[in-house]
Structure 1
Amino acid sequence: MARYLVSKKGVPVLASARVEGAAQSCCVLVAKYCEEPLQISFYLQYTTFIDGFDDEQTFTLIYDADILTHGATSLKTATTALPHDQLTSIARAGNPQIRVLTLTLAKPCRIRCPLSSGTLTSKSGYEAPFHRLVKLAIASEIDITLDYNWVHADNREPLECFVRQPNVFAGFPDGNDGYRYADWAVFSTIEEQDAPPPSYANAVDTNASRKRSRHTTTHSLSTSPAPKRQQYDPGSPTEVATATPSPPHTPVGSPLEKATASPSYPSISLEATAALAFQNAINRAVEAQLPAVVEGMLPGILKSILPDIIHTSLVPQRSPSLSPPPATALPPRPVSSSLGNLITDRLTELAKHHLTTIFDEANDQAYSLRNQADGEFEDVIADHKINVDIIKEDCIRELGEVVDDKLCKFKEQTEDIVKTAVDEMENKSSEFLAKIGYLPNPPFSAVVADFKLNAPPTPPTTEIEYTKFILMRDRHQSEIRVHQTASKSAAPRRMFVLIHGGGFCFGKNFSLSYLPSYRLTLEHKFSTAPQDLLDSVKWLSQDIHVKELERDLPLSFYVGGNSSAVTAQRWVFEKFQLPLMGAWASILEQNAAALVFNQNAMEYISKALRDDRYSLDFFPFQANDLHKGMPPIYIKVAGKDPLRDDGLIFEKALRTHSRRTEIDMYPGLPHGFEAVVRKLGLSRKSMFYTLIT
């Protein structure tokens, strides 16, 4: 499909022949391009006055790709600065990018001219612009200076491709647009007009040859000049003209003829005089009677031929509005003589031909105006599209600037809010510490030793709270503390498995109401504790024990600390039959000098684990595909916990892989704050959320 590389109306350019001293002329350039097949043509429009036309006429110099010399076409940046007025006349807007398109022709370009016959000459007073037009038409090399901003960014690649490989392009054929196509020979320059005119004798012979010979009965010489018609008054019909004897006959071109030739009128015979008188009488009669006869006959002639002309011209597009008028009674025609019939027939033929010509010209003019209006409308649409694209780009750029500005302001406001929140949190923490007074912070080893010496007493055994012993994989008997509801129910009830914390170093299954117990790391090599927990969960999943505890296993899930995350992951990886419904991973992360669990405690636990702290039984984040099959997880993070970031990262990793998670954060509180400061409102709130979440 053909398209235009610039506006269909064209863009202003300066054109000149590539010769020394050639003047630049203001023109309009149109570039037409087709991708399949590869075609390109440049149309250089030049407007000037020519003889025979009242208005300015536009000449279009057509430079097709297939008339250009290969390898001689270029598009380069202009090296010569243009005068301000010329630069203003071709610049689009903003910063002009002046380029020079050089075309070298292998043969003369075609020229689209106004409809006319013969050669075209300049109108008086407009010889200079007409002469520049002729120079452009004759030139074999031409430079076209333009502002490259007129070429849209999407159209620059085809133009530059043509400059690189002009040999693969062809030109567009002439369209049936009603114009005249010619080459530079159609122009008649001043030099050609200065040639001497043809001889008068030749002009006389030419005119004489075009006239119809008249038959006479005279005996005058054939070589003598044609006699001039005399102003003869016939006078009275009875008057007899005096005949002048004719000269004796002499041979053609004889000396006698040359000698006797004189400018006096030749003598006229009697028969010639009579014939001339009769012809003059006819002329006078026709001159006197013809206007009245034509005036009386012309309405009838027009009424009889006009409907036929209109009907014949509009047969393909017939419409009710153009149908012939209804027939009306014509007045009777006067009886005419044979001369009247001859005149009627001749006038009918001439009037029909003349009216047909007028109608055809009007129809062609209307069609041309319609095509011109369509072209102008398409140009307006194309210009609007370009303007819309430019406006859209400007709006996007302005919107981006506004968004960037708003984003910068939002970042500044966010930083201020965060800073204010941090300051307020520090103040609240200071006030809190001032209220609770001094909090002892013994080393972690002392906490473990004190727990062994002063272990909490075993809770009493009742019907709903009691201890069971189960076998581990190495035949060790481990305790499970069972808590049941006092009321019996036929509806299925879920099972909660609570695992106590303590870094595998201390703690019991009743210290925080957590049910399974495990062997501690100080007395038993590491991995024994995680294995005990896994075996305990396996025992709880067996049907016989589920029935004994009156629980519905598919509704069950378990909660705990770091050990809960380890056990959940092991359960998933080893692909046990029953899925876990949920887990509470209380991986509390603390600062190095926090209360109870701090850097000292981490070093103590690492030593107790005997360099096995990166085992999957201790650190679940080391596993590959840790998110696959994991149940919904509830995570609590304390602000003063050395492992705070581990909990945040663990939750984000699960959430990124579409695992269901929920996280609660307690800023400013240490690890295990529920046990350290039990009376604190946040401690009770944390325990409550742990049970209901």
Structure 2
Amino acid sequence: MSQHQALQQMRLARRQNDLQLISRLGPLHANLEEYYSAIPLPDGHNAEIKVIRPKETSPPSAARPLIVLFHGGGFSAGNVEYMTRPGREFAIEFGAVVVSATYRLAPEHKFPVPMQDAWDTLVYLAGNAAQFGAEPTAGFIVGGVSAGGTMAAVVTQLARDRNLQPPLTGSFVSIPLLLVKDIVPAQYKKMWRSMDENKNNPTLSRDTIKNIIRTLAPDVKSPLFSPFNSRTPHYGLPPTYIHVGGLDVLRDDGIIFEKALRENGVKTKIDVYPDLGHAAWTIYSVGSSGQLGPNTMNGMKWLLNRGTI
């Protein structure tokens, strides 16, 4: 079996496992519907998406916000099932259309393909929201977890830099990879300690991060790798909700990001979980989410300007 075949088998097995985890969530709420679709990208690739939304009413009782979520998996794994748990909760609680989006994976598709896919997907959804029953002027949020959190931070900055219309109204950035040693701004270097302090954390180690970087093979100084590489980073961005684990090797990426945003006038909300490593509220946190679920819901409610739950 070739390395490529082994990788494909691993991804197929992971998706089957993810579907089993989704079954443990219980039946889909009677007022929701889910379906799979694909987004045509400019280079001809069709990016798979999973849409979770309230069932149609005629006419809809209220304009539905659009929430776009990108999955984690170290840029080399993961699929549209990954964000089903928060996606369902966002859809039922906020009457939102939630799009769980994917991107081509490394090592077959190295940088910048995954990030470019995320950007092209966001552009398509911005221009075709009505096709999915969404109204971005009621709320247009991009978010993600781990690698997906990186995607969310990157495309939020690109949306400002490239004048995406309609504009994003919020960003949800969960346990992201945003910094490597070469691009940590001078004023934050003393804060960037978690890569050493938490280097052996079993949920995500420093060596694993190094392997992720090798596999993705990014230009670490490109704005497609990190919003810190924008010519005018952090200024003029929408409200941003961030969460990090205190024991995570990537803890300080999120903490520094929040500080940089706040210092540039961006409204921010951050949750730091001192006893957690690289953990977020996804299908993988079934039965053990603690405060991750309630706090994530509060963060999204804040982003949608609806106070807190």
Match among 224, 235, 241 for residue 634 of structure 1:
241
Gaps of 5+ in 2: 1-6, 88-99, 177-193, 303-309
Match of 1:559 in 2: 143
Match among 52, 63, 66 for residue 483 of structure 1:
52
Query: Does the Cα contact within 8 Å between 2:37 and 2:50 map onto a contact in 1?
Result: yes
Match of 1:526 in 2: 111
Q: What does residue range 408-423 of structure 1 map to in structure 2 within 5 Å?
A: none
Shift of residue 487 of structure 1? 5.7
- The total of aligned residue pairs comes to 243
Shift of residue 624 of structure 1? 2.6
Shift of residue 622 of structure 1? 2.1
Query: Does the Cα contact within 8 Å between 2:110 and 2:218 map onto a contact in 1?
Result: no
Task: For residues 397-426 of structure 1, give each alpha carbon's deviation from its aligned partner in whole angstroms, at most 9, with x where no partner exists.
Answer: xxxxxxxxxxxxxxxxxxxxxxxxxxxxxx
Residue 666 (structure 1) aligned with residue 273 (structure 2):
yes
| Whole-Å separation in 1 of the counterparts to 2:141 and 2:265 | 20
Match among 176, 195, 202 for residue 595 of structure 1:
202
What's the secondary structure of 2:143's corresponding residue?
Answer: strand
Task: For residues 638-677 of structure 1, give each alpha carbon's deviation from its aligned partner in whole angstroms, at most 9, with x where no partner exists.
Answer: 1011121121111111111111111111002011254565
Task: For residues 123-178 of structure 1, give each alpha carbon's deviation from its aligned partner in whole angstroms, at most 9, with x where no partner exists.
Answer: xxxxxxxxxxxxxxxxxxxxxxxxxxxxxxxxxxxxxxxxxxxxxxxxxxxxxxxx
TM-score (norm 2): 0.71
Residue 623 (structure 1) aligned with residue 230 (structure 2):
yes
Query: Does the Cα contact within 8 Å between 2:172 and 2:300 map onto a contact in 1?
Result: no
Match of 1:685 in 2: 294
Match of 1:456 in 2: 15
Shift of residue 502 of structure 1? 2.1
Match of 1:228 in 2: none
Shift of residue 471 of structure 1? 1.1
Match among 149, 163, 171 for residue 583 of structure 1:
171
Q: What does residue range 367-378 of structure 1 map to in structure 2 within 5 Å?
A: none
Shift of residue 546 of structure 1? 2.2
| Whole-Å separation in 1 of the counterparts to 2:280 and 2:141 | 24
| Whole-Å separation in 1 of the counterparts to 2:8 and 2:291 | 28
Shift of residue 491 of structure 1? 2.0
| Whole-Å separation in 2 of the counterparts to 1:484 and 1:607 | 37
**Residue type at the aligned position of 1:473:** P
Residue 492 (structure 1) aligned with residue 77 (structure 2):
no
Shift of residue 521 of structure 1? 1.5
TM-score (norm 1): 0.33
Match of 2:36 in 1: 467
| Whole-Å separation in 1 of the counterparts to 2:170 and 2:254 | 17
Shift of residue 618 of structure 1? 1.9
Q: What does residue range 354-365 of structure 1 map to in structure 2 within 5 Å?
A: none
Q: Percent identity?
A: 32
Cα RMSD after superposing both structures: 2.5
Match of 1:122 in 2: none
Shift of residue 451 of structure 1? 4.9
| Whole-Å separation in 2 of the counterparts to 1:654 and 1:688 | 21
Task: For residues 453-498 of structure 1, give each alpha carbon's deviation from its aligned partner in whole angstroms, at most 9, with x where no partner exists.
Answer: 52223679x9821111121121001111111113623321211111
What's the secondary structure of 1:454's corresponding residue?
Answer: helix
Q: 1:593 to 1:686 in 2, by over 3 A?
A: farther
Shift of residue 593 of structure 1? 0.9
What's the secondary structure of 2:157's corresponding residue?
Answer: helix
Q: 1:452 to 1:546 in 2, by over 3 A?
A: closer
Match of 1:59 in 2: none
Residue 541 (structure 1) aligned with residue 110 (structure 2):
no
Shift of residue 576 of structure 1? 2.2
Q: 1:523 to 1:628 in 2, by over 3 A?
A: same
| Whole-Å separation in 2 of the counterparts to 1:627 and 1:519 | 27
| Whole-Å separation in 2 of the counterparts to 1:450 and 1:603 | 24
**Residue type at the aligned position of 1:456:** R
Q: 1:540 to 1:674 in 2, by over 3 A?
A: closer
What's the secondary structure of 1:537's corresponding residue?
Answer: helix
Gaps of 5+ in 1: 1-447
Range 671-680 or range 600-609, more displaced: 671-680
Task: For residues 563-601 of structure 1, give each alpha carbon's deviation from its aligned partner in whole angstroms, at most 9, with x where no partner exists.
Answer: 100011111111223211000111356621112321121
Runs of 4+ in 1 over 4 A off after TM superposition: 448-451
Query: Does the Cα contact within 8 Å between 2:72 and 2:82 map onto a contact in 1?
Result: no
What's the secondary structure of 1:601's corresponding residue?
Answer: helix
What's the secondary structure of 1:646's corresponding residue?
Answer: helix
Residue 571 (structure 1) aligned with residue 159 (structure 2):
yes
| Whole-Å separation in 2 of the counterparts to 1:661 and 1:500 | 22
Q: What does residue range 255-334 of structure 1 map to in structure 2 within 5 Å?
A: none
Q: 1:638 to 1:608 in 2, by over 3 A?
A: same
What's the secondary structure of 2:228's corresponding residue?
Answer: helix
Shift of residue 559 of structure 1? 1.5
Q: What does residue range 241-260 of structure 1 map to in structure 2 within 5 Å?
A: none
| Whole-Å separation in 2 of the counterparts to 1:628 and 1:607 | 30
